[in-house]
Amino acid sequence: MKKIKYYFLLLLFMLPICGIAQNWAPLGHGLEYPAFTMFADSVDNRLYIGGNFKYAFNSEEDTVIVYEITAWNGNKYVALGEGNSAGNCTVICPPIRGIARFQDEVYADLQDVPSGSGTIYGIARWNGERWDSLQGGIKSADGFAGKFSAALEIEDDLLIGGLFTRAGNIPADGLAKWDGSTWEAFYFPGLGSDNWICCLSRLGDDIYAAGNFSAMTEEGQTYDIARFDGEKWHAVDGGIRGGLGHVNAMLVFQGELYVAGFFRKSAGNAGNKIMKLGASGWQEVGGGIIGANADIHAMAIHNGALYVGGIFDWVGDNVPAQNFARWDGQQWCGFGSDFNLGRVLAIESLNDTLFVAGGFRYIDSTLVNGIAKWVGGDFTANCGATNGTADSTGPASISIFPNPATHTLHLQFSSFQAQQATLTVHSAAGRLQYREQLKLSPQLQQHQVDVSAWPPGVYFLFLRAGERQAVRRFVKKGTG
């Protein structure tokens, strides 16, 4: 009987090993430089990728010249014509930031691109063989190409948002409608000529525009977000407050409007870097993103949860999460991933697969060159309290970081009551590696464990107090 118990425990410890080797996998050999946007196209099952790269690498022997836009078909990168002008921009080409599908064709924000006898300005349509201009395109006040960065289908038209003052021959202030053949005005009460609309969303019968702008609405001047009710523009609960505040991402999650970007509670906002719009106005999202200089660049919904990416180290109630985190409507979770100080600039979900892109070469020890897909299944390294309440399954709320760890494993925990606890760490094979007695308290506590001399591998940390137990899994890498 003792042998049966021993083998059962050994099996229990070893179950997670097969999935821990890597949580991220590269797409081919990645990209030359960062991607700034992705578009998951379920029509042709392609992931469209835009940025400021010239090359996409399928393998060491297979390099594709793509000029700032490419498509990943599930197996390899493919070029879309000559992309953003094959390097022949009238001015220096900024990275591609806008991609959308409308009426069975793909649109992207190509810049000052020679096309036949004319020039593509700010937005182009891919016909399967080449990029076509859109009746004069979109232009900025100086006559050069404008920027297309947001799209929303409304009835039979595509509402285009970005940074531009003309669409075709029609005056525009960052918004215009395209019906597939002609431009139509869509009034936006922006102040000045540099209003940037990054995002468009529909909630109920209303259209929301967000970005970095000032606008004169029915309620007066507002900043960075406004609501269109079909006839007039309105302020949204005071807008985004703070002189440097702006929105980078917006979407509807679980029936509520979420905005994310760079804004702070200290400036009068309801949350730090992320908020949601409730019935009574803006609301905090589980403690938001921690860090004065933190910034969210991207949001996406995947398997019923909201994923955010940017530059940050902590979320919610001090949950470690470097540049990538998940919010399920109740709690924040981190994944223990190390993005090597590179920002996450884009997130997308396609065919049950989650993709990230940005300014990183490695994730953990995996070379990905700026783009990767999640292969870690249901793994999370750390999760916070549920809607600000304590987790009732363990003796304490506990977070560990970094994960993987090389020299020192840091612990943060707070108990529901003062009590004695035992901290142990076991290898994946069940061998006791570390043991210590701790005194828990309701206040947030910091603790460190020196792992520098431990063999590399998978470990399980147990915090036990009476009949209650919390378990965390982490990886020790390197030789210290």
- 67-124, pLDDT tens digit by residue? 999 999 999 999 998 888 654 555 567 899 999 999 999 999 998 776 765 788 999 9
Determine the pLDDT at residue 292: 87
Claim to verify: residue 73 and residue 10 sit in the same structural domain: no
The tens digit of pLDDT for each residue in 193-245 reads 889 999 999 999 999 999 999 999 999 999 999 999 999 999 999 999 999 99
The tens digit of pLDDT for each residue in 436-462 reads 998 887 776 788 999 999 999 888 888
pLDDT band (50, 70, 90) for residue 395:
low
Among 345, 362, 383, residue at a domain's last position: 383
- Contact present, 474 and 381 (Cβ < 8 Å): yes
SS3 at position 138? strand
Claim to verify: residue 456 and residue 324 sit in the same structural domain: no
Measured CA to CA, the distance from residue 78 to residue 63 in angstroms comes to 10
Q: To which residue do tokens 């000529």 refer?
A: 193
Claim to verify: residue 1 and residue 143 sit in the same structural domain: no
Output the CA angle 260-350-79, nearest 5 degrees. Answer: 100
pLDDT band (50, 70, 90) for residue 365:
confident
Determine the pLDDT at residue 397: 64
pLDDT band (50, 70, 90) for residue 13:
very low
pLDDT band (50, 70, 90) for residue 388:
very low
Claim to verify: residue 342 and residue 457 sit in the same structural domain: no
CATH number of the CATH domain containing 337: 2.130.10.10
Claim to verify: residue 150 and residue 279 sit in the same structural domain: yes
Claim to verify: residue 373 and residue 464 sit in the same structural domain: no
Among 383, 401, 430, residue at a domain's last position: 383
Asked which of 5-9, 201-205, 346-350 is least confident by mean pLDDT, the reply is 5-9
Claim to verify: residue 368 and residue 415 sit in the same structural domain: no
Give buried/exposed letters for 82-97 (b at 16+ CB in 10 A, else e).
bbbbeeebeeebebbb
Among 383, 416, 440, residue at a domain's last position: 383
Determine the pLDDT at residue 94: 84
Task: Please count the other Cβ atoms lying within 10 Å of the Cβ belonging to residue 469.
Answer: 14
What is the number of structural domains in the chain?
2
Asked whether residue 428 carries a pLDDT value surpassing 90, the answer given is: no
Measured CA to CA, the distance from residue 229 to residue 205 in angstroms comes to 7
Domain that holds residue 464: 1-20+387-480
Q: What is the mean pLDDT of the chain?
A: 88
The tens digit of pLDDT for each residue in 143-181 reads 888 999 999 999 999 999 999 999 999 999 999 999 999
The tens digit of pLDDT for each residue in 418-427 reads 788 899 998 8
Torsion of CA 372, 375, 381, 383, to 10 degrees: 90
Determine the pLDDT at residue 5: 36
Claim to verify: residue 199 and residue 306 sit in the same structural domain: yes
Claim to verify: residue 65 and residue 210 sit in the same structural domain: yes
CATH number of the CATH domain containing 412: 2.60.40.2550
Determine the pLDDT at residue 15: 35
Measured CA to CA, the distance from residue 288 to residue 179 in angstroms comes to 39
pLDDT band (50, 70, 90) for residue 289:
very high
Burial class (CB in 10 A: 0-12, 13-18, 19+), 78: middle
Claim to verify: residue 364 and residue 415 sit in the same structural domain: no
Claim to verify: residue 39 and residue 14 sit in the same structural domain: no
- Contact present, 371 and 355 (Cβ < 8 Å): yes
pLDDT band (50, 70, 90) for residue 473:
confident
Asked which of 188-192, 459-463, 464-468 is least confident by mean pLDDT, the reply is 464-468
The tens digit of pLDDT for each residue in 37-49 reads 999 999 999 999 9
Q: pTM of the entire structure?
A: 0.78
Claim to verify: residue 37 and residue 183 sit in the same structural domain: yes
Please compute Rg for the chain using Cα positions: 25
pLDDT band (50, 70, 90) for residue 334:
very high
